[in-house]
Amino acid sequence: MQQITESLQTKLSRLDREKAISGLKDYFKSEIKTRLNLHEVSAPLTVIKGTGINDDLNGIEKPVQFLAKSLPGTKVEIVQSLAKWKRLKLAELGVPAGQGIITDMRALRPDEIISPIHSIFVDQWDWERSISIKNRNLDFLESIVKDIYKSIKETERYIVGLFPSLKAFLPKDIKFIHSEELQYRYPKLSPKQREKVVARDHGAVFIIGIGHELVDGVPHDLRAPDYDDWSTPAVGNYKGLNGDIIVWNPILKDAFEISSMGIRVDKKSLQHQLSLTKTENRLSLSFHSKLMNDELPLSIGGGIGQSRLAMLLLRKKHIGEVQASIWPEVLKEDLKKSGINLL
C-alpha cells in the first residue's frame, strides 16, 4: 500500500483548519446518508438513569450523572453512545427495513484515558438501520462495511482535492478478517499488536467478532452484551455479527479505529449474551423488555468517529488538533513546543 510521511502534512492556519474540519464532516455525512439510505434526526445529550437506554460500552464505564432541579428524585445521565436509543427511535418513527437514521452524537466518557487519539469528549455519527430477518448474516454486515468504507474513500478524495499536497493513501478495498483468525495467525501477540500488524499489512481492515471469548478464553476486546450481536455463529466455528473498521494511520504509524458497529441483538442473542455476562437482571429494564416483547425492529448500526476521521484525513498527530476538549495544561504546553496546537 502507498505510504506517506510527516512532510506531506498540510500546514493550515487555525481558521482554515476549522473550515477543513467542517467541510470534511459535512461531505462525509452527505455521503453516508446517501449510501446507507439514512434520515437525519436530532439526538439527546441526556437520558434518564435506570431505563437501560444509555450504553456502558465495554461493560464497565460509568456515565456522568446529575440531579435536575425540575425532575426531583430523578437521576439523569449524559450519554456515552446512542446504540440503544437509536433502535428505540427506529420503532418510534416506524422506519421500514432498508432505511435508517443518523445523528450527530455528542457524549462524555469520564473513564476514558486521554491520549493522542482519546478524549473524554466524544463526537461521532451514530447511525442505525432497520433490517429484515434475512439480513441478519455476515454477508450483509460486510456489504454495509464496504459502503461505509466507500464513503471514507470519497471523503479522502474530496479533501485531497482541497489540499493537493495531501496525497491519497487509503487502499482501494477493505480487508475482512475474524478476530479468531487473527489470534490463530499471531498467537503470541496481544489483540492491539495483532491490529497493528494487520492494519499495517492491508491498510484498512474490518475485524469481525469482537466481544466473544476466543479459543484462549479471552475476547479480542470487550463489548456490552445488549446491543451488538457478538455471539451468533457467523461462519464455520467463528462467532459474531459485529466488528471494528481499523485503518493504518501513516502519521501515527499505528492501527487506527474509525468505527465500531454490528448487527444488533435479537431476543435469542440478547438472552444468551446476558447469560454469558451474568447480567440477566437487565431484562427488567425498559429497553430490554421492549426488545423481548418484539416492540423493536431488527437493526444494524454503529458509530463513526467524527474527530477520528478528521484527524486521519487531515494528517494530524493529536485528536485535540481537530476537536475542542479539555487537556492538562502541561500536556498542552509540551505539544505546543512540538508545533502541535490544540483547538
Task: Give the pLDDT of residue 261.
Answer: 96
For residue 225, which of 79, 60, 48, 45 has the smallest C-alpha distance?
60
Task: Give the pLDDT of residue 94.
Answer: 97
Between the alpha carbon of residue 216 and those of residues 180, 188, 219, the distances in Å are 10, 11, 8
Taking the C-alpha atoms of residue 335 and residue 202, their distance in angstroms, rounded to an integer, is 31
Give the structural domain span for 169.
6-40+80-332
Cell of 50: 435506570
Within a domain: 307: yes
Grid coordinates 457524549 are at which residue? 107
- Collapsing DSSP to helix, strand or coil, 302 comes out as strand
Alpha helix stretches (DSSP H) within the chain:
14-36, 83-93, 138-162, 179-185, 191-202, 267-276, 286-292, 306-313, 329-337
Q: Which residues contact 234 (CB under 8 A, 6 or more apart)?
A: 137, 138, 178, 208, 209, 240, 241
Taking the C-alpha atoms of residue 292 and residue 127, their distance in angstroms, rounded to an integer, is 22
Cell of 30: 452527505
Within a domain: 51: no
Within a domain: 195: yes
Cell of 115: 491520549
Burial degree of 154 (CB within 10 A; 0-12, 13-18, 19+): middle
Q: What is the CATH number of the domain that holds 262?
A: 3.30.930.10
Within a domain: 196: yes
Within a domain: 75: no
pTM for this structure?
0.91
Q: Which residues contact 61 (CB under 8 A, 6 or more apart)?
A: 80, 109, 111, 112
> What is the mean pLDDT of each successive set of 10 residues along the chain, which is 343 residues long?
40 79 95 98 86 62 81 84 89 97 88 86 94 97 98 96 88 97 94 96 97 90 92 90 97 96 97 95 92 97 95 92 87 83 80
Q: Which residues contact 232 (CB under 8 A, 6 or more apart)?
A: 136, 239, 240, 241, 268, 269
Task: Give the pLDDT of residue 88.
Answer: 94
Task: Give the pLDDT of residue 10.
Answer: 54
Within a domain: 72: no
Taking the C-alpha atoms of residue 202 and residue 248, their distance in angstroms, rounded to an integer, is 8
Within a domain: 47: no
Task: Give the pLDDT of residue 6.
Answer: 39
Cα dihedral sign for 167, 172, 178, 182? negative
Grid coordinates 468517529 are at which residue? 305
Within a domain: 70: no
Q: How many domains does the chain have?
A: 1
Question: Which active-site residues does the annotation give?
Answer: 55, 109, 124, 244, 257, 260
Kindly tell me the number of DSSP H helices and DSSP E strands found in the chain: 9, 13
Grid coordinates 473524554 are at which residue? 120
Cα dihedral sign for 34, 38, 42, 48? negative
